[in-house]
A and B are shown apart, each in its own frame.
Chain A
């Protein structure tokens, strides 16, 4: 058996953790909103909390076993040798950065040399004798990662290690962390609720909702093809529209939501009248001025709508439109694209709204 094997249940306050996965290479991201059990899962892996039942094993070492018929195993955290990095780093405030990094290896003869090496690898050599409060948040995070790597872990647990950092600092830190994991062929489990981190760091993604994994797969597979409406919504930029299958037009299925018809390519067998949910990425929503003709290939999924509001930021614009039947969708685009399409529109006039990349999910 190679890699991390996890199967666990644990009651939490509002729901129960109940999940299973195997992780053999690279970085696995546990993705979900706050309070969905991501941190509690990491705590079970680290041994800081014990599941109620299940098995946790790394390679051929069993860390936890709680199953009827098998001898119980409960390895405490200090005997697991896991690298654990929590939000904000949790450096010991009464120790210098060097002493922090040395903490897990202070009985080893070559500890001093290894600390120097790790500080250099994380680019904070000159801060060795500073205390955590004397360095920036990003530098603290770097020291925390060096401290976790010092004990030569096979498994690295990362609980939102990039939260509360500037964009640039965060991007650099992500790059360096991914490089460190690759260079030492580590297994890592990264807890995050940030889509950018998924795209930048994850090799595989597990979507977590209320203590359960609703999708697990390679990064691009999960990002491009969420398996359910819930997964699509969790991945952030999707609009969900409930409707029913209205019929078939050539190669297209026609789905009606409210008073609007949408056409989806597909050979899947759908039944007329079947309840489905349509999912649309915010980035796949286009608006076209009334004086511009709608290109024929977009006309299939185009309906008139009005702009409700727009949140214009330097790097992105988020806008909401309302269709004639009262349903609303949210789009996101670049500021210059938005300016070209909508700048001369007043909010009373209708313009064309195109939904691209429609996916459908069965609705229960």
Chain B
């Protein structure tokens, strides 16, 4: 169980920067981009949490396993592959929460910054992001929690190799299959505890933003 915890942590640590960067960019684009393509993009971003995780995993399996890609890097059944699956599954939460936080910033403040000589980039850095900070962090934490406990897509893409790709959630499944009650209960307690902690933290962040 301990090695599964380490695997989960490693996968989450690998996924976190990707969630932060792609999630932030996605949130900004979805909040500010005025284009008919925006709805399509938003749909694509949300799709992974609505689709069965195994379906998302199947798509990933096909994309990451392509011959052309395989010549350069081996991603399937590696911790990096697991991290990619965790990123894709966590991103929607970051993007949805981040978009709401950015769109919630008073447009008059952004207008004021523009009249004071700020370019769109400076408006984003000086006004929009600082004021949306709490919502963005909350979304990031939620996404990381999702990545930490991801199961279906990870199993499809990375399998269940002890010490390499067998995360806590997968270890729980294996433990139940093998009838290891104690291990299963320990993992359940750990995952529930972590998730409740993160949820409480995000509620506090979003609540005290007002």
State the A residues within 8 Å of B (CB).
43, 46-48, 76-84, 86, 90, 92-94, 103-104, 147-148, 150-151
Q: A94-B131, A103-B113 are in contact. Are A78 and B108 (CB under 8 A)?
A: no
Q: Bound complex: CA of A83 vs CA of B106, how far in Å?
A: 19
Is B40 in contact with chain A by the CB < 8 A criterion?
no
Task: Give chain B interface residues in 102-153, CB to chain A under 8 Å.
Answer: 106, 108-109, 111-119, 126-127, 130-131
A-B contact count (CB 8 A): 56
Q: Which residue of A lies closest to B119 (CB)?
A: A78
Q: Can you list the 8 inter-chain pairs with the closest CB atoms, starting with the nearest? A: A104-B116, A84-B115, A77-B114, A90-B108, A90-B112, A78-B117, A48-B111, A78-B114
Contact A151 B112 (CB under 8 A): no
Pick the contact of B106 from A77, A80, A90, A104 — CB < 8 Å? A90
Contacting residue for A86 out of B112, B126, B131, CB 8 A: B112
Identify which of B109, B114, B126, B127 gathers the most chain A CB atoms within 10 Å of its CB. Answer: B114
Please indicate the chain B residues that have their CB under 8 angstroms from the CB of A76 in the complex.
114
CB closest chain-A residue, reference B112: A90
Cα distance A344–B126 when bound, in Å?
65
Contact B131 A80 (CB under 8 A): no
- Assuming the A-B contacts A78-B118, A81-B117, A104-B116, are A92 and B109 also in contact, with contact meaning beta carbons closer than 8 angstroms in the complex? yes
Instruction: List chain A residues, Cβ under 8 A from B118.
Output: 78, 103
Instruction: Determine whether the beta carbon of A78 is less than 8 Å from that of B115.
Output: yes
Nearest Cβ on chain B to A61's Cβ, whole angstroms: 15
Measured as residues with beta carbon below 8 angstroms from the partner, the interface class of chain B is 10 to 19
Chain A: minimal CB distance from B111 (Å): 5
Contact of B106 with A103 in the complex, beta carbons under 8 Å:
no
In the complex, the answer to whether A94 meets B130 with C-beta atoms within 8 Å is yes
Tell whether A86 pairs with B116 under 8 Å between CB atoms, given A92-B127, A94-B130. no
Q: Which residues of A contact B111 (CB under 8 A)?
A: 43, 46, 48, 77, 84, 86, 90
Q: Which residue of chain B is the closest to A76 with respect to CB atoms?
A: B114
Q: Is A103 touching B115 in the complex (CB atoms < 8 A)?
A: no
Knowing A78-B119, A103-B126, say if A90 contacts B114 (CB, 8 Å). Answer: no
Having A148-B116, A151-B116, one finds 9 other A-B pairs with CB under 8 Å, namely A47-B115, A77-B115, A78-B115, A78-B117, A79-B117, A81-B117, A90-B106, A92-B113, A103-B116
- The reply to whether A48 and B114 contact each other, CB–CB distance below 8 Å, is yes
Contact A90 B119 (CB under 8 A): no
Q: Is the CB of A151 within 8 A of B114?
A: no
Given the complex of chains A and B, what is the CA–CA distance between A79 and B109 in angstroms? 17
Residue-wise interface mask of B (147-181) relative to A, using a CB-CB cutoff of 8 A (1 in contact, 0 not): 00000000000000000000000000000000000
Return chain B residues, CB-CB under 8 Å to A104. 116-117
CA distance A83 to B127 in the complex (A): 18
Assembled-state Cα–Cα distance A113/B127 (Å): 24
Question: Which residue of chain A has the shortest Cβ distance to B118 in the bound complex?
Answer: A78
A80 touches B108 (CB 8 A): no
| Closest beta carbon of chain B to A130's beta carbon, Å | 18
A84 x B117 contact (CB < 8 A)? no
| Chain A residues closer than 8 Å to B115, beta-carbon distance | 46-48, 77-78, 80, 82-84, 148
Q: How far is the CB of A85 from chain B (nearest CB, A)?
A: 9
B49-93: CB near A (< 8 Å → 1, else 0) gives: 000000000000000000000000000000000000000000000
Would you list 9 pairs from A and B whose C-beta atoms are within 8 A, ordered by A residue? A47-B115, A48-B111, A78-B114, A78-B115, A78-B118, A92-B113, A94-B131, A147-B116, A150-B116
CB proximity of A273 to chain B, nearest CB, Å: 54
Q: Separation in Å of the A17 CB from the closest CB of chain B?
A: 18
Contacting pair B119 A92 (CB below 8 A)? no
Task: Give chain B residues whose Cβ lies under 8 Å from the Cβ of A84.
Answer: 111-112, 115
* Contacting pair B116 A90 (CB below 8 A): no
| A277 CB to nearest B CB, Å | 40
Interface centre among A80, A82, A103 (most CB of B within 10 A): A103
Residues of B within 8 A of A92 (CB): 109, 112-113, 126-127
For B112, the chain A residues whose CB sits under 8 A away are 84, 86, 90, 92, 147
Residue ID in chain A nearest B130 by CB atoms: A94
| Chain A residues, CB < 8 A from B119 | 78
Across the interface, which residues of B come within 8 angstroms of A77, CB to CB? 111, 114-115
**Most B C-beta atoms less than 10 A away, residue of A76, A82, A83, A92:** A92
A146 to chain B, nearest CB (A): 12
Of B109, B114, B116, B117, chain A has the most CB atoms within 10 Å of the CB of: B116
Nearest CB in chain A: distance from B126 CB, A = 7
Contact, CB under 8 Å: A90 / B117: no
A78-B126 Cα distance, complex, nearest whole Å: 14
Q: How far is the CA of A77 from the CA of B119 in the complex (A)?
A: 9
Instruction: Give the one of A80, A83, A94 with max B CB within 10 A.
Output: A94
Please, which residues of chain B bring their CB within 8 A of the CB of A86?
108, 111-112
**Roughly how many angstroms separate A86 CA and B108 CA in the complex, as a whole number?**
8
Q: How far is the CB of A77 from chain B (nearest CB, A)?
A: 4
What residue of chain B has the Cβ atom nearest to residue A153's Cβ?
Answer: B115
Q: How far is the CB of A114 from chain B (nearest CB, A)?
A: 14
Q: Report chain B residues within 8 Å CB of A80.
A: 115
Expressed in whole angstroms, the Cα–Cα distance for A334 and B35 within the complex equals 58
